[in-house]
Chains A and B, each alone.
Chain A
């Protein structure tokens, strides 16, 4: 273990160096550019054996990764926002062809209006594309998650692509203390990439991506769905093993002072860090506040969420995205649906916040708990969908 100062982007590039993928195909986009830029320096310096393909767009970056992965290579790329949106078509193809491509991705608002700062609209837009989605709270998690993702995605029961997100600028460019694992240990943890079949295996030729009409498409989609059903168990096992070997254990969700909490918020990404401070402060004042951090958004940990929130008196789900759906945002709607089957159904509200990189303050998070306190006392939800930090 080596303790260093790294930004989220640097930490993820470092993980990529240690993974030493066969192919990286990439196109730059703020705030994710650094990941592949730093990595390209590793290539130039001969620190990795990777074939680096500088392509002309993100659509091509993902296409090249798909080709490489189908040929039997361990392929990676990195992107953000509009870049991820431009990959949209290819995201589904990577998942449908069951290619375990691993992609660090920096959360950034989608246009329009144009904006380069953090929110989760890009990642949420890809939530049904068949990709595993891992959210990281800080640089350390980003680094650990990229390494674990290789194992998760390539697992024979899974074989799905995965994206590992950090919040744009807040984490991607924020310098933090990170414990790096030794190169050799990362290498032994991820192991060698073994494909069942690959297109470059000319002794066993096959066609990939053939037209799949009424009589086979459904079966193939069913297989893809099954792979996602298999994923939670694999994520847990990999997180457990990672914990045993390197001292940092990971699960689908993380609970912070939730065991005896009466008021809970549900968050993704860097806001979890800010929330911890608020919770500690409220606890000192005798308020039983807690937090549920969703680390894995896909596959959605519905059971774990329902169980962990079963004994709270009020819940607020924080969405750093507006689904513009006419009702609620993605995390809220899915958490709420998960609670439907739970033993209890605590009153629940949605807070949409932080769009386009708008800061979220300790006071604002405290105000969410204040509202939850009221709801818990009266049992009455005045407004289901709320906005936090927008000028009226």
Chain B
């Protein structure tokens, strides 16, 4: 990371440029990883609506994957996936690390 600005250079009044959340990759907070089953998914896009980190990737109105740079593993997507579908499973992150 570049050098942090001193108080003379810093914009005053606790002001931050917009869109800086993009630079902050929350994916490394994750302890549970959402894994999507392509066979089960009906592309209802509930997960896309609810994901607090905009980590659900949608293309041509289809849920095509999860952006793990930002997915912090909250599990909301798995919860809101329709009960009869249950296309998203939360898997312990250690399983991926150990491999």
Q: Is A220 positioned at the interface, with any CB of B under 8 Å from its CB?
A: yes
Q: Which residues of B contact A227 (CB under 8 A)?
A: 12
Number of residues from A at the complex interface, CB < 8 A: 22
Q: How distant is the Cα of A220 from the Cα of B15 in the complex, in angstroms? A: 10
Q: How distant is the Cα of A216 from the Cα of B14 in the complex, in angstroms? A: 9
Q: Is A392 positioned at the interface, with any CB of B under 8 Å from its CB?
A: no
**CB atoms of B10 and A220 under 8 A apart:** yes
Annotate A207-224 by CB proximity to B: 1 below 8 A, 0 otherwise: 111101001101110110
Shortest distance from the beta carbon of A70 to any chain B beta carbon, whole Å: 9
**CB atoms of B13 and A208 under 8 A apart:** yes
* Interchain CB contact (< 8 A) of A219 among B6, B16, B20: B6
Annotate B1-20 by CB proximity to A: 1 below 8 A, 0 otherwise: 00011110010111111111
* Interchain CB contact (< 8 A) of A210 among B7, B10, B14: B14
Q: How distant is the Cα of A215 from the Cα of B4 in the complex, in angstroms? A: 8
- For chain B, give the interface size range: 10 to 19
**CB atoms of A207 and B10 under 8 A apart:** no
Annotate A277-304 by CB proximity to B: 1 below 8 A, 0 otherwise: 0000000000000000000000000000
**CB atoms of A223 and B18 under 8 A apart:** no
Q: Is A159 positioned at the interface, with any CB of B under 8 Å from its CB?
A: yes
Q: Is A357 positioned at the interface, with any CB of B under 8 Å from its CB?
A: no
Interface residues of B in 1-54 (CB under 8 A from A): 4-7, 10, 12-20
**CB atoms of B14 and A97 under 8 A apart:** yes
Q: How distant is the Cα of A212 from the Cα of B7 in the complex, in angstroms? A: 13
* Interchain CB contact (< 8 A) of B18 among A96, A97, A207: A207
Interchain pairs with CB closer than 8 A, number = 49
Shortest distance from the beta carbon of A192 to any chain B beta carbon, whole Å: 20
Q: How distant is the Cα of A99 from the Cα of B12 in the complex, in angstroms? A: 11
Q: How distant is the Cα of A308 from the Cα of B31 in the complex, in angstroms? A: 66
Interface centre among B6, B13, B19 (most CB of A within 10 A): B13
Shortest distance from the beta carbon of A2 to any chain B beta carbon, whole Å: 38
Q: Is A226 positioned at the interface, with any CB of B under 8 Å from its CB?
A: yes
Nearest-neighbor residue (CB-CB) of A225 within chain B: B7
Q: Which residues of B contact A99 (CB under 8 A)?
A: 13
Query: Are A220 and B20 also in contact (CB < 8 A) when A215-B4, A226-B7 are?
Result: no
**CB atoms of B18 and A159 under 8 A apart:** no
**CB atoms of B13 and A159 under 8 A apart:** yes
Q: Which residues of B contact A216 (CB under 8 A)?
A: 4, 10
Q: Which residues of B contact A209 (CB under 8 A)?
A: 14
Shortest distance from the beta carbon of B29 to any chain A beta carbon, whole Å: 15
Q: Which residues of A contact B5 (CB under 8 A)?
A: 219
**CB atoms of B15 and A96 under 8 A apart:** no
Q: Which residues of A contact B4 (CB under 8 A)?
A: 215-216
Shortest distance from the beta carbon of A278 to any chain B beta carbon, whole Å: 45
Known: A210-B16, A218-B7, A219-B10. 17 other contacts (CB 8 A): A96-B14, A98-B12, A99-B13, A159-B12, A159-B13, A205-B18, A206-B16, A206-B17, A207-B18, A207-B20, A208-B13, A208-B14, A208-B15, A210-B14, A212-B14, A216-B10, A220-B10
Name the 7 nearest CB pairs between A and B, nearest first.
A98-B13, A205-B18, A219-B7, A222-B7, A207-B16, A210-B16, A223-B12
Q: Could you name 26 residue pairs across A and B whose Cβ atoms are closer than 8 Å?
A: A96-B13, A97-B14, A98-B12, A99-B13, A159-B12, A205-B18, A206-B16, A206-B17, A206-B18, A207-B15, A207-B20, A208-B14, A208-B15, A208-B16, A210-B14, A212-B14, A215-B4, A216-B10, A218-B7, A219-B7, A220-B12, A220-B13, A220-B14, A223-B12, A223-B13, A226-B7
